[in-house]
Homo-oligomer: A and B are copies of this chain.
Amino acid sequence: MTTEPRRPCVLGIDPGSSRTGVGLVAPDGTRYRLVHHEVIRAEGDLPDRLVRIRARLAELLAEHAPCSAAFEDVYHGHSVPSVVKLAQARGVALCTVAESGVPIASYPPAVVKRAVTGSGRAEKPQVARMVAAILGLDAPPPADAADALAVALCHAMHPGWQP
């Protein structure tokens, strides 16, 4: 459990069995600022990958103490084998965040895209460019981190969210 006070930032997670995107954003006046982003790379067989994802997420939760976390809902249009891999990583990420006591929100992919680009059908590069623009970054972040930052921003922008 996180024992230090939580900080007014949102943790977004884009889980995957090989690469899990992580992004933390915080409100900054009327804008948002980047706190941290990274891509957790996991190798080896699946159980070892899941252990790596859990360990690094636990470190990030302890370091940044976010006051909330956000995920995308699983998109059901993918093939079953790819959904299975993604969902196993997602389960580990959900469990790790929940154990730290951080409340979790989940949004449909189209809602996340619309929140950051204005269109629920935006392509990934457009999402990454808009994430960079919103956060005032010089260049778009890597794709997995951009998706994680997008869902974090979607949650931070949500009228119901308060830091």
Contacts and interface: CB of A to CB of B under 8 A. Distances in A.
A148 interface: no
A90 interface: yes
A95 B58 CA distance: 13
B80 A76 contact: yes
A15 to B, nearest CB: 9
Interface centre among A51, A88, A97, by most chain B C-beta atoms within 10 angstroms, is: A88
Interface centre among A48, A84, A92, A99, by most chain B C-beta atoms within 10 angstroms, is: A84
B97 A95 contact: no
Contacts of A99: 51, 54
Nearest to A90: B88
Interface in A133-163: none
Interface of A: 46-48, 50-51, 53-54, 74, 76, 78, 80-81, 83-84, 87-92, 94-95, 97-99, 104
